[in-house]
């Protein structure tokens, strides 16, 4: 039955990722993948926040399902490669450094916030 919690979370996370990515990217006239960065940072924060949740079902639903479908390492990797190959090497480096820094910062903030709850 655990798979159902994962599937339900993913059913929300995947469209949320797509819609958020498109909305964020539409606001920026740049080749930089702002939408992917946004969903990955938000997902990292939510996952950090979930560290305070003790329910296994909530972890499966929100952590594995929602955050797993919301965040995307494969798209991050692909977009970074395309930036590099397209000559936007500075953006490629910025994407890697910014994503790692913001993602780690967001998960840390999420765990800190969970500790306050």
Could you read off the pLDDT of 53-96 as tens digits, one per residue?
Answer: 778 899 999 999 999 999 999 999 999 999 999 999 999 999 99
Residue 52 annotated as lining a ligand binding site:
no
Domain ranges of the chain: 2-116
Mean predicted confidence (pLDDT) in 6-27: 97
Q: For residue 23, what are its two tokens? A: 């909305």
Q: Is 68 annotated as a binding residue?
A: yes
Residue of 86, 105, 87, 89 lying closest to 37 (CA atoms): 105
Closest CA to 35 of 71, 74, 82: 71
Give the other-Cβ count within 10 Å of 87's Cβ. Answer: 10
Is the pTM for the entire model greater than 0.85? yes
pLDDT bracket for residue 28 (50, 70, 90)? very high
Give the span between the Cα atoms of 97 and 15, in whole angstroms.
26
CA distance 37 to 15: 16
């Amino acid at each position: 039955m655990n798979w159902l919690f994962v599937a339900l979370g993913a059913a929300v996370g995947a469209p949320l990722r797509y819609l958020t990515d498109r909305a964020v990217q539409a606001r920026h006239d740049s080749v930089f993948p702002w939408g992917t960065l946004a969903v990955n940072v938000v997902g990292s924060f939510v996952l950090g926040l979930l560290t305070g949740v003790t329910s296994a079902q909530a972890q499966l639903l929100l952590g594995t399902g929602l955050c797993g479908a919301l965040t995307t390492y494969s798209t991050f990797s692909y977009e970074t490669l395309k930036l590099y190959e397209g000559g936007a090497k500075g953006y490629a480096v910025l994407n890697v450094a910014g994503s790692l820094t913001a993602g780690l910062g967001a998960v840390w903030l999420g765990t800190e916030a969970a500790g306050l709850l």
